[in-house]
Amino acid sequence: MAVTSHDVARLAGVSQPTVSRALRDDPRVSEATKHRVREAVNQLGYVPIEAGRALSSGRTRRIGLLVTDLDNQFYSHIIAPTHRELERLGYQLLLHTESADSETIADRLIANGLDGVILATTTAESVAPLRLHDRGVPFVYFNRTAAAVDADSTVVSPVNGLTAAVTRAVDLGHRRIGAILGPSNTSTAQGREVALRTALAEHGLALEPDYVRRGPFDTESGALSTASLLALPHPPTVIFCGNDVVAYGALNAARGAGVPVPDGISIIGFDDLPPASWPILELTTIAYDLVGMASAAAGLITRRIEQPDAPISHIQFETSFVERGTLAAPAAR
């Protein structure tokens, strides 16, 4: 006859729910008890059937995280803290990537029996929030939001950081301001564009259409846009990039074109990813608590699962300007 968790509980001298918690590595169970449970498991050769547990509780304790592309360094930096916080809360992370057909994504998320989903790729056209909402699957917006459905969210306010960055650039003498904006159907790109234009307007400046490029938040887009800006007869003297990953591409394109940074062109990122502070990059950028934001998203989704009627929370993280080596006064021309 199959060994059950009740047999394990009896041998370990604990309750059956304690066995489940110990095997989930729940922090509420002491290390000594976990050790006793593991000993009993080993002695009896017990194999826990997680599926059985899911059927009895109606929960899988699995949270999906939807990202556009795992190769994109922005996502690799949010996966780790999200994973850690979910693990601490007794949940597991399932990664999902977007494919071309967003209708399929929503179905796949629903079909996976997830307890909840963290959406990090929302655009104005995303149907995932609508479908998840219709099916009653809890979800949280991470970084990007959509107006169509209100839900818990953790977002960044770009205003403080970009305002300070623009003030500093203008003080240094920059007047020809370039920008590589993110996709116009994302709330993040929209928010950063508005903050940038507003900050420039306060100094009587505007983004000249010739100096604006738009593209996905990735390194290739940053490189192509920068190459095209540097090829102008009078290129901008500073480029505000949609995020740090775009800025890596901008640095690559400047190096490729033989234009020194910051003496030939200044580059400013957004996100302050860990490599931004490396001595070989020294990227000037806009910082916020990215790890805290990932943890907050994990906290919001588990709260929503455990307290479905809790009021909707919008957690906003403030930004600050971090000046490093990629910003300097423009060369006199």
Q: Per-residue contact track with its own copies, 208 to 237, x per CB under 8 A?
A: -----------x------------------
Using an 8 Å Cβ cutoff, are 266 and 249 in contact? no
What is the closest distance, in whole angstroms, from the C-beta atom of residue 163 to its own copies in the complex?
28
What does the alpha-carbon distance between residue 240 and residue 261 come to, in Å, rounded to a whole number?
A: 14
- Residue 8 in the binding site for its own copies (CB under 8 A): no
Binding residue (CB under 8 A) for its own copies from 3, 54, 164, 224: 54
Site for its own copies contains 279 (CB under 8 A): yes
Binding characters for its own copies, 116-145, by CB under 8 A (x = yes): -------------------x----------
Per CB under 8 A, 297 contacts its own copies:
no
Q: Is residue 235 within 8 Å of residue 265, measured between CB atoms?
A: yes
| Nearest residue (CB) to its own copies, 52 versus 173 | 52
Alpha carbons within 13 angstroms on the beta-carbon side of residue 55 total 4
Q: Which two tokens stand for residue 64?
A: 């999906």
Binding window for its own copies (CB under 8 A); candidates: 87-95, 118-126, 143-151, 182-190 = 87-95
90 binds its own copies (CB under 8 A): no
Which residues, other chains included, contact 246 with Cβ-Cβ below 8 Å and sequence gap of 6+?
180, 182, 215, 217, 218, 219, 221, 222, 225, 269
Name residues contacting its own copies, limited to 179-198 (CB under 8 A): none
Q: Under the criterion CB under 8 A, does residue 47 sit at the interface with its own copies?
A: yes
Minimum distance from CB of 36 to its own copies (Å)? 13
Contact between 4 and its own copies per CB under 8 A: no
Binding part of the chain for its own copies, among 7-15, 79-87, 206-214, 303-311 by CB under 8 A, reads 79-87
- Which of 8, 11, 12, 23 is close enough to bind its own copies by CB under 8 A? 23
Smallest gap from residue 87 Cβ to its own copies (A): 8
x/- map, 96-115, its own copies, by CB under 8 A: -x-----xx--xx-xxxx--
Q: Does 55 bind its own copies (CB under 8 A)?
A: yes
Residues that bind its own copies (CB under 8 A): 23-25, 34, 38, 41, 45, 47-52, 54-55, 60, 69-71, 73, 76-77, 79-80, 83-84, 87, 92-95, 97, 103-104, 107-108, 110-113, 135, 219, 248, 251-253, 255-256, 274-275, 278-281
